């Protein structure tokens, strides 16, 4: 009988993937994940993508698809999964809160482009991130960049939400951080149940955001109409 690394049966592993269940709050990386250079990874992935396309019966002599293996490999390493490499973590510069702003700051509608780790299909949605200063503030664009960094890897939405909050907490030196993500999973929308209308909402609340009134204020900000057209 087939068993995975943790002693789980093939059926159990398949069930976890079909139901989009995470097994770890951390991205499951091997110890040797970064021993190969980006160029070496691209070369290896290129050959593997080529093998997949050939197995599917594609004619790689056709000009339209002949360059696909390298294009996919470059996109995986340099773009779609670039967030796996800690070297690409954005520098989260913080500044003293000299103007003594003591209320909640919310950066809403941050675009999320990620990839479901179970079927390697896109996750597309929006993240809403908030914090209450504990003496430090962070540049607004850095909040977007943190979301983008953790999105660019094979992901589970629950983990992504937690990782964004943890990174913000570390940068700001406060537990008072929250994140809500609302996203569509193409592994649900385009295969399996093929439900094109459903989306998934996840939330992580830290510190003061565990208080019902503070959390309600945050959720009210998210619903606020900010269409300036």
Angle (nearest 5°) at CA 46 between 40 and 50: 155
Tokens 């954005």 found at: 90
Let me know if the fold of 10-88 is the same as that of 94-223. no
Which DSSP state fits 81? T
Query: Helix H segments across the chain?
Result: 10-18, 38-55, 63-66, 68-75, 140-151, 157-172, 186-189, 212-223
Domain 94-223 listed as CATH 3.30.1130.10 = yes
**10-88 has which CATH code?**
1.10.286.10
pLDDT digits 0-9 by tens, 81-124:
999 999 999 998 899 988 888 899 999 999 999 999 999 999 99
Angstrom distance (rounded) from CA 205 to CA 185: 23
Average pLDDT over residues 186-203: 85
Q: Which residue has the higher pLDDT, 102 or 126?
A: 126
The pLDDT mean for the chain works out to: 91
Considering only CA atoms, which of 225, 220, 151 is closest in space to residue 181? 151
Kindly list the domain boundaries of the chain, sorted by start residue. 10-88, 94-223
Contact 137, 94 (CB under 8 A): yes
Active site residues: 116-119, 157, 185, 187
Residues with Cβ within 8 Å of residue 79, at least 6 apart in sequence: 152
Q: Which residue from 137, 226, 124 is spatially nearest to 183, judged by alpha carbons?
A: 124
In Å, what is the CA distance from 57 to each residue of 27, 44, 120, 155, 178?
A: 33, 20, 21, 29, 47
Tens-digit pLDDT profile for residues 198-229: 899 999 999 999 999 999 999 999 998 766 54
């Amino acid at each position: 009988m087939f068993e995975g690394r943790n002693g789980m049966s093939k059926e159990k592993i398949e069930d976890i993937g079909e139901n989009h269940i995470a097994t770890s709050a951390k991205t499951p990386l091997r110890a040797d994940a970064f021993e190969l250079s980006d160029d070496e990874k691209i070369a290896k992935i290129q050959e593997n993508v080529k093998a997949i396309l050939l197995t599917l019966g594609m004619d790689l002599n056709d000009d339209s698809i002949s360059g696909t293996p390298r294009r996919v490999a470059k996109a995986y390493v340099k773009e779609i999964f670039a967030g796996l490499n800690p070297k690409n973590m954005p520098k989260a510069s913080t500044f003293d809160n000299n103007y003594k702003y003591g209320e909640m700051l919310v950066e809403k509608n941050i675009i999320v482009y990620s990839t479901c780790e179970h079927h390697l299909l896109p996750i597309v949605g929006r993240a809403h991130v908030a914090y209450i200063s504990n003496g430090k503030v962070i540049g607004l664009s850095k909040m977007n960049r943190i979301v983008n960094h953790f999105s660019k890897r094979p992901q589970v939405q629950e983990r992504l939400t937690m990782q964004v909050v943890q990174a913000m907490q570390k940068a700001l030196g406060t537990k008072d951080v929250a994140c809500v993500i609302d996203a569509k999973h193409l592994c649900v929308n385009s295969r399996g149940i093929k439900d094109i209308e459903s989306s998934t909402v996840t939330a992580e609340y830290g510190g003061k955001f565990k208080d019902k009134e503070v959390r309600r204020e945050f959720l009210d900000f998210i619903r606020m109409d900010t269409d300036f057209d």
